[in-house]
Amino acid sequence: MRSLLAAVVSVLAAPVHADILNVPGDFPTIQAALDAAQNGDEIVLAPGTYVVDWPLETVTSFPFRILDDVTLRSIDPDDAAVTASTNVHVEWAFMFERVPEQLEFAGITLTGDGCDELGQSFGRLAFRRCVIDGGSGAEQFEIRMDGTSLELIDTHLTGQIADMLDVRVDEFIVDGCTFGPRTGGYEFSSMNPDMLRLSNMSIVDTGTNQDGSIRWPIVESVIMTNMSFVRSPVQPSSRTTAEVYNCRFEEVHVDSRGLFNVDVLIAEDSDFVGLVSSSGPGRLVDARNLTLRHCRVERCGGFAVVLARDTGLLEDSDFIDNLARYATVEGLDAMTIERCRFVGNNFAVDPQFSTIATISLREASDTASAIRDSEFFGNGIASGNSTLLDCSHALSYTPEGSLTIERCTFAGNRARVLKSPLFGPNDTPFAMFTDSVFVGNESNNLGFGNAVFLGCTFAGNGSGLGSVWSFFGDSGEVANCIVNHDDPQPFIGTVAVSNSVLSAPIPGATNSTTLDPLFVLQPSNGGDGWGDDPATPNIDESLNDDFGDLRLRPGSPAIDAGTNDFFTPGDLDLDGNPRLADDPGVPGNNVDIGAYEFQGTTCLPDVNQNGQLSPNDFNAWILAFNQNSPLADQNRDGEVRQNDFNAWILNFNRGC
């Protein structure tokens, strides 16, 4: 193999003396200009072809002297035509009698073959606005160096450029470069830079195989900024700490390990769309420690689209229309998900998995996981083993290792919400849901396992085993919740229900009412069930689904009717409003029931709610009484009875 070699010895710098050395105007050859160069000089090549042919045997006899900084450039590095006409053709080796600490090529086309390695130490080597063309021959044009940094800036690489096998630097920077086709792709592989920086580049349509790919199998750390890979393969290192900022990966071909198989991945403001593997949609990442912020993950797949083995943090990210064999997101230990959206994620059914999940938390035994301020819409399949949150493999857990779900929305999903572990210490619940909404979900049961629900709203969920939840053990609890279903059996198993608005009486429920919660808009499935029925592939039944508006109207029996036993100052409702917002028109100063805290003021005697009190409100009260409407409950005891008429007169005379 042959190579282009730039040798830079790291020694004390001499004083800078900057001159322009013109070739061939002032010096007949590049070598002659180098012999005369001083620190900071620029060697300027006129358009033409310069053949460099120094045998390896003569290199060791060169009397190396000290230079600090030398630039070898064309007459106008910013002019692509000048760059193309200024050609340095390397026949054997590119060596320097006096080795500069910093060497920069600018606006030059480099072609030709090189030499075998020379074990010398270099400093900074940079190629700026150059073309490096390895041609089509068997010999490969190669860059070898050992030093501080190698920089490829706004440079085009093409032809048989060899893998950069012996580039050992502290930092390797590739910025704004373009890549022509090359058999086997471009591999920054058998080198050991501490850091590889890739930025401001677009790698597009390099093929489904490895031609034109970018690979760095053993780089310790890689940072990618403003990168775009479209229909091109990428293969990062399994030992890498990878950071990805403002990048896009679209229809990129990956192997079974995924786009990133790394120790650490930090990705921000980036899109990962339509990753492809030989068996279908491709995996995004398998990482020990994972952080995704402001990212979009769409139409990806694999065993799990995203796998975090130790810790995972997902923030402000969207997961859309992914098709995994087991899980969209899998966490083997602590996982925190905040302000994320999971929409239309589905599963390629695999009989070897007893459960398939949008999110799988498999071993939350010692650390707490949390999902906050996130939305789940239209995920799952109509299958008994399809689950949004699968924690069933966390067979032994502690209260510190449980799961909290705060201010989340689950709507139109065709999978159960949670499958939790079977056993815990003292039969403690594994999951706690607070200030969350469950509407229009269609599954064989909405949830399975011990859980606590505080300040939640359930509406319009359909199933065959209880519209809301299947509990086991005796630690389930529902408090300050609205359970608005036609199903006469919303819960299965032992559960303590208190301070809730229920669609039907539940034995043992305390401080609860069965009055209409008075939603702003009641949800409706359009009469054909929730979601899209897979049995009718030509009809999308989800188009007429209306999840309603589950906020409260004035006069709702849920206003100021909850218990403050679970309230903590600073708590927020699903809208992010203060949880304890007193309605001065309603007796008491308690939190509201359900996921939304009413922020207005109720005028109880204004039964027709036209904003003014008049005798017409008497007729409205009679109508509300006959309809068993909560607007007739003027004494706010959770029931509509005749003594509410006396309460209406008292409220009317008091005014609003």
User: For the residues 458-486, what does the mean pLDDT come to?
Assistant: 75
* Residue 218 pLDDT: 61
Reading the block at residue 432, the tokens are 């706690």
Higher pLDDT, 22 or 327: 22
pLDDT in tens, 381-426: 755 567 788 776 554 444 455 788 999 999 988 888 887 765 555 5
Return the percentage of the chain with pLDDT > 70, whole number.
Answer: 75
Sign of the Cα torsion 642, 608, 517, 412 reads: positive
pLDDT for 221 beyond 80: yes
Q: How many CB atoms lie within 10 A of CB 260?
A: 27
Report the C-alpha gap between 329 and 332 in whole angstroms: 10
Q: What are the Cα distances from residue 161, in Å, to 143, 190, 216?
A: 9, 14, 15
Domain boundaries, the chain: 1-161, 163-171+183-324, 347-602, 603-656
Give the pLDDT score at 235.
66
How does pLDDT run across 147-184, given as a tens digit for each residue?
778 888 999 887 766 554 456 677 888 899 887 766 55
pLDDT category at 2 given cuts 50, 70, 90 is very low
Tell me if the bond preceding 24 is cis, omega within 30° of 0.
yes
Mean pLDDT score of the chain: 80
- State the pLDDT at residue 376: 94
Kindly tell me if the per-residue pLDDT of 56 is higher than 50.
no
Query: How far apart are alpha carbons 409 and 441 in whole angstroms?
Result: 11
Residue 354, pLDDT score: 58
Distances (CA, A) of 413 to 174, 348, 380, 445, 624: 44, 16, 6, 12, 35
The confidence score (pLDDT) of residue 489 equals: 72
pLDDT score of 1: 34
The pLDDT tens digits of the residues spanning 66-117 come to 456 889 999 999 999 999 999 988 765 554 444 457 888 999 998 875 443 3
DSSP string, 240-285: -EEEEES-EEES-B--TT-SEEEEEEEEES-EEE--EETTEEPP-E
Burial of 537 (0-12, 13-18, 19+ CB in 10 A): exposed
Instruction: Give strand ranges (E) for 12-136.
Output: 20-23, 42-45, 48-52, 66-74, 86-90, 99-106, 109-112, 124-128, 131-133
Q: Would you list the DSSP string of 569-637? A: TT-B-TTS-BS----TTSSS--PPSSSS---S---TT-TT-SSS--THHHHHHHHHHHTT-GGG-TT-S
CA dihedral 589, 593, 595, 601 (to 10 degrees): -50
From the list 336, 446, 330, the residue with the least C-alpha distance to 387 is 446
Give the predicted TM-score (pTM) of the model. 0.84
Q: What is the mean pLDDT of residues 470-475?
A: 68
> Can you give the pLDDT at residue 504?
85
What's the mean pLDDT in 486-514?
Answer: 85
Give the 3-state DSSP-derived string for 536-567, with helices as H, strands as E and coil as C.
CCCCCHHHHCECCEEEECCCCCCCCCCCHHHC
Mean per-residue pLDDT for 259-267?
92
